[in-house]
Chain A
């Protein structure tokens, strides 16, 4: 087992990607159906993905509240992805329609503020196959990695919210 290598992971400090460059932080909300299924399939296929993302599973993309997205971006998380089912395929009777409209509008506000709507990735139905999930994650990881850091925005804020266990 890779005991030594693994132990490195628990040493904390600034996260480093494999090449030693700082790794972006990406939060992924994945609906239990299309989003979660795509993620699961990518796992079965043993696809290789960057470690920069953390998944919060939700029942439906409709549960993703804009306030959470603002909180995440204002706390040092560099990008947020919301994975839901394709339009027409929501098992909660088109709940994803209003969700998509709402999140598209969040992008507008993020653009206004200069944070950039592109930091919010909406993948409704484009991530329910393994290769699609992998592509979505890899592309977003690459894109976010190239975006300028949000640090200047945050002032003293980025450590307040994301913190270790007290």
Chain B
């Protein structure tokens, strides 16, 4: 057994006030092992790191057990010391003697001491069985594929190109801009719709690093972070390229409220987008506008708020009052959603400009009256319970953004998940704009209905996240961890033992396992180490122990169980 150093931290009395560390040290030293035991007041103070590093070097330590607080989870100085002393993840084990022992067993110091000795013994036994995972590295292709040239995609493209990354920007339309091409004015600035994206569009045209592929869509995608291989179909036929990262910014679709509020039956019942089209052509002719919110949203089929419809209605209502001579606007709503100080101010301004608001209940929606044309809206006010009939000429329906119809196909291509509504889902928790697969990011309404302002923010955010990957020459599989440390290993197959049953392939949440055929028709599992996250799902379903995570293989668990009550 390699020379082991055991570091017992007194934690300034927090641990050894309850646990008899001296006794434990004595017991450990009695064991006939090549082991040195140290008792230290602390392991985390500023000068502790170098002190420990020196100690480990002098001891020529190959393996280390550190018994300390639970605080080693993150940037504990001990980790640095271990790394500098050349001890990798499979060469050390930590034991939580503070939160996990001393602090919860203060009323039973004898029991706590016994437990502490057991925990240290478990760690020593585990260490003897830990093995290192073989790491692989891959070159990172310094380019990014951005799907969708709306505000999110454009902002991302500009940000990345500005950092020296080549960008392949694809869009189904023949020009960039996405849904903003259909919008006359944006909120809250009330500026021209294109103002948000003009600088980005100019960047796309001017910057050589950005290649814009109009009328193109992705047809195949393979690979992994740093090395995606994308096949796309464009107006001139198929084309292929490599990308180190992918940003999905394909936006969302618009819900057409057929059958709701007599849309399709009366031509004056229109959607917000149709109103935008009217503004683009010129001032609308009709004067009396009704805006109805939550049409087909916040319902049982679509139980979400689409976030942009209320501000859009406020914007258009104010425009009616300001630009249409004699214009009047009433907003019929279930709630007005205008979070934040800017939008709140926008809402107040709308009220000040004379726009009326009537609240209705979900189970008692307004009714559109009129035989051949819109004549009035009948509504029951939710507050007073009184029914009103308001004469109107145009009814504008606020409908939600809905997932694009080909989200399903795209998600299958890239193997990223969709949420229960059909939008691309980010990985949980605390990792916005990232999908469950490294190197694939999402931004804008593809992820969730957002305003163009937020889409730009997210596009830039996704670009920065992509840059963390694309800025490196090479990445190693063990470094692809979302936590501040290294990945704790990856699934490793003992090829001769694999029966090819495919359980690991079926269970892996990251689709990191695949069966490869060998001579004689045998199948053997192979782990894509870049995709593997070491969750251990494969290990638990492997029938004969072929699949292991070397740093926590089944001998480690067995050894720990053995020693768990051995004191």
Q: Do chains A and B touch in the complex (CB under 8 A)?
A: yes
Q: Which residues of A contact B (CB under 8 A)?
A: 1-3, 5-10, 12, 15, 17-18, 23, 25, 27, 32, 36, 39-40, 42-44, 46-49, 51, 54-60, 62-68, 71-72, 75-77, 88-95, 98-99, 102, 161-165
- A37 CB to nearest B CB, Å: 9
Say if the beta carbon of B529 comes within 8 Å of chain A. no
**B436 and A93 contacting across the interface, CB-CB below 8 Å:** yes
The answer, among A9, A40, A43, A58, for a CB contact under 8 Å with B111, is A9
**A27 and B561 contacting across the interface, CB-CB below 8 Å:** yes
Known contacts: A6-B113, A15-B114, A92-B537. The answer to whether A43 contacts B566 by CB under 8 A is: no
- A31 CB to nearest B CB, Å: 10
Once A and B bind, how many residue pairs between them come within 8 Å at the CB atom?
A: 198
B: interface residue count bin: 35 or more
| A–B pairs, 25, beta carbons within 8 Å | A1-B20, A3-B20, A6-B113, A7-B110, A9-B20, A9-B109, A15-B565, A23-B111, A25-B565, A27-B564, A39-B100, A46-B103, A49-B104, A57-B96, A59-B549, A60-B537, A63-B535, A63-B540, A72-B561, A75-B561, A77-B565, A91-B429, A95-B537, A99-B537, A161-B561
Which residues from A are CB-within-8-Å of B427? 91, 93
A47 to B107, CA, bound (A): 10
The answer, among B100, B537, B558, for a CB contact under 8 Å with A98, is B537
Which residues from B are CB-within-8-Å of A59? 488, 534-536, 549, 552
**A93 and B20 contacting across the interface, CB-CB below 8 Å:** no
A1 to B23, CA, bound (A): 12
The residue in chain A whose Cβ has the minimal distance to the Cβ of B98 is A43
A64 to B427, CA, bound (A): 23
**B113 and A162 contacting across the interface, CB-CB below 8 Å:** no
A102 to B539, CA, bound (A): 13
Say if the beta carbon of B220 comes within 8 Å of chain A. no
Which residues from B are CB-within-8-Å of A60? 535-537
A71 to B107, CA, bound (A): 31
The residue in chain A whose Cβ has the minimal distance to the Cβ of B17 is A1
**A162 and B566 contacting across the interface, CB-CB below 8 Å:** yes
**A89 and B429 contacting across the interface, CB-CB below 8 Å:** yes
A72 to B539, CA, bound (A): 18
**A10 and B552 contacting across the interface, CB-CB below 8 Å:** no
**A54 and B99 contacting across the interface, CB-CB below 8 Å:** no
Say if the beta carbon of B384 comes within 8 Å of chain A. no
**B107 and A48 contacting across the interface, CB-CB below 8 Å:** yes
**B560 and A95 contacting across the interface, CB-CB below 8 Å:** no
Say if the beta carbon of B533 comes within 8 Å of chain A. yes
A8 to B73, CA, bound (A): 32
A1 to B107, CA, bound (A): 13
- A-B pairs with lowest CB-CB distance, top 9: A43-B99, A63-B536, A6-B20, A51-B111, A9-B113, A92-B535, A9-B110, A93-B509, A9-B114
Which residues from A are CB-within-8-Å of B98? 43
**B112 and A9 contacting across the interface, CB-CB below 8 Å:** yes
**A40 and B552 contacting across the interface, CB-CB below 8 Å:** no
**B558 and A71 contacting across the interface, CB-CB below 8 Å:** yes
A12 to B121, CA, bound (A): 14
A76 to B566, CA, bound (A): 11
Which residues from A are CB-within-8-Å of B536? 58-60, 62-64, 95
Say if the beta carbon of B510 comes within 8 Å of chain A. yes
**B566 and A49 contacting across the interface, CB-CB below 8 Å:** no
- B164 CB to nearest A CB, Å: 32
The answer, among B104, B114, B118, B540, for a CB contact under 8 Å with A65, is B540
Say if the beta carbon of B18 comes within 8 Å of chain A. yes
The residue in chain B whose Cβ has the minimal distance to the Cβ of A39 is B100
Say if the beta carbon of B514 comes within 8 Å of chain A. no
**B566 and A7 contacting across the interface, CB-CB below 8 Å:** no
A15 to B113, CA, bound (A): 12
A76 to B342, CA, bound (A): 64
Known contacts: A8-B110, A9-B113. The answer to whether A39 contacts B99 by CB under 8 A is: yes
A5 to B560, CA, bound (A): 26
Which residues from A are CB-within-8-Å of B22? 3
Which residues from B are CB-within-8-Å of A8? 110, 113
Known contacts: A43-B100, A165-B121. The answer to whether A62 contacts B565 by CB under 8 A is: no
The residue in chain A whose Cβ has the minimal distance to the Cβ of B21 is A6
Which residues from B are CB-within-8-Å of A63? 535-537, 539-540, 549, 552
The residue in chain A whose Cβ has the minimal distance to the Cβ of B24 is A10
Say if the beta carbon of B31 comes within 8 Å of chain A. yes
**A47 and B118 contacting across the interface, CB-CB below 8 Å:** no
**B100 and A55 contacting across the interface, CB-CB below 8 Å:** yes
Known contacts: A51-B105, A51-B114, A65-B557. The answer to whether A6 contacts B565 by CB under 8 A is: no
The residue in chain A whose Cβ has the minimal distance to the Cβ of B564 is A54
Q: Quick one: CB contact mask for B451-472 with A, threshold 8 Å, 1 for yes?
A: 0000000000000000000000
**A7 and B482 contacting across the interface, CB-CB below 8 Å:** no
**A163 and B122 contacting across the interface, CB-CB below 8 Å:** no
